[in-house]
Amino acid sequence: MAPKVLHSWDVDPHEAILIQKRLRERLTFDPRVGRIRLVGAGDVSYAKRGDRLFGAMVVFSFPDLTLMGQAWEVGRVNFPYISGLLGFRECPVLLEVSRRIDPWPDVWIFDGQGIAHPRGMGLASHMGLLLGCPSIGCAKKRLLGLHDPVGPRKGDFELLRFEEHVVGAVLRTGPGTKPVYVSPGFRIGLDGALDLILKTTTRYRIPEPLRQAHLLSKRIRQESEVRSQKSEKEETDRRPFDI
């Protein structure tokens, strides 16, 4: 499925903020997504050296969580790291991956924020709007907001509030694990987002589709780095010795 073209990526941070504010007005949130048969997830890894980044997407059947499809892409970092503007670093490579993913999921989970974001336009909201598909942000760290302590049992959660608005929830996905930060991205409400994150979480803290997307992006990065190291060694071996 071809993603929507809603703005240029060749922008500076000030322009990026203005784009986020404009796109926020286009977000909608449905209390019901409808029947979910396929769940997708996307994540990005960065090269330890250089400016390459590695985007990966996976699609799992739901609720049995069988891998149905995967794709990846290697890109270049073209935007500085600035808190709140992660989408302008990672969305371009994820959008390229999305052009080759098959089958197409009913909902996406991304490693980032949805509306739990200073301008209500985190990575998950940005991607959901561009893909025209329901999306959820599931982050390991809090970007903003306040919440009460979360109970110890799987499924315990507390609402995350920012400027007197509920922007997400802090969810315990397993006993004794650190909570994750769940926020609606696009065309899904908080209740539906929490329900899906819990139902796609198995033995680990992170939902299984998102965990597998992370592992895939990490594997592609490692394989690329091994190839680069091998090429560098071969180039060095071909150089003549100084006598």
Ordered domains of the chain (ranges, CATH)? 13-221 (3.30.2170.10)
pTM: 0.93
List Cβ neighbours of 178 (8 Å cut-off, separation of 6 or more). 140, 205
The confidence score (pLDDT) of residue 233 equals: 59
> Residue 3 is which amino acid?
P
- pLDDT at residue number 105: 98
The enclosing H or E element of 220 equals: helix 208-238
Q: What is the mean pLDDT of each run of 10 residues along the chain (243 residues)?
A: 93 98 97 91 95 97 98 97 97 98 98 98 98 97 97 97 97 96 98 97 97 98 86 60 49
Q: Which residue from 102, 126, 105 is spatially nearest to 114, judged by alpha carbons?
A: 126
Half-sphere exposure of 18 (CA within 13 A, CB side): 8
pLDDT at 242: 52
Q: What is the pLDDT of residue 41?
A: 98
